[in-house]
Copies of this chain bind each other. A is one copy, B any other.
Amino acid sequence: MKNSVNKTTILRLAKYLRVLKKLKSLGFNKVFSNNLGDALALTPAVVRKDFSLIGLSGNKRGGYDIDVLIEELSQVLGKDENHKVIVIGCGRIGNALLNYKEFLRDDIQIVAGFDADPAKIDENASIPIYHIDKMQEYAHENNIKVAVLSVPEAAATGAFEQALHAGINGILNFTTVELKCTNQNCRGGDCNAPCNIQNVNIGLEIENLFYLVHMQDHGFNEGDA
């Protein structure tokens, strides 16, 4: 009775697409649900169910056509749309991301940085860095929907609100503040859709690693298949 394409499924669809492109580049034409399952540590049934949810079908014996899958998944996921990203906060981490070369392969384009510090501003760089007050205008003009947030903790909520008012509805959050998109801050400005937030709290992640190691050493942990 589960008929909804939920977040879990979408994230898996994205992974299928990655694997399929790799398979295609290796010269494959067809793929079976268990191939994809193996590649992503999923059962074949999950793969088939996901495909069936978005109306993708294969051949009862011949598996799935990779080209068709790639095309349909790309369309469902909006892969052909612009994938322009801005970086809010150009400190060490922000700068590393501005220059992160691996993005290119994924068709992700970092188009600009923003910072409150005048010393960081460089509007003529290959990836220009503007003052944060120009962000709203820039985002609207260039139809930017996704941003990386890498400002200091104290500036996090302020920059977050500014991003929402600039129409951003996807944020990769590297600050230590766990951001949540509430109706209050979201419906306030020009923003009329909830904002998807992915929190990457590096300190917390590392802390968790210590805890998991510790618990493992003391026999609490039952593995994390």
Contacts and interface: CB of A to CB of B under 8 A. Distances in A.
A214 B148 contact: no
B170 A209 contact: yes
Contacts of A18: 204
B105 A203 contact: yes
How many copies of this chain sit in the oligomeric assembly? 2
A78 interface: yes
A179 to B, nearest CB: 12
A222 interface: yes
A29 interface: no
Interface stretch (A59-67, A93-101, A117-125, A130-138): A93-101
A137 to B, nearest CB: 20
Contact of A176 (B15, B102, B148, B218): B102
B10 A221 contact: yes
Contacts of A106: 203-204, 206-207
Interface in A172-223: 172, 176, 180, 193-194, 196, 198, 200, 202-218, 220-223
Contacts of A170: 209-210, 212-213
A211 B14 contact: yes
A91 B85 CA distance: 22
Given A92-B100, A96-B92, A213 B200 contact: no
A5 interface: yes
A25 interface: no
5 contacts: A6-B222, A93-B97, A103-B202, A171-B209, A194-B216
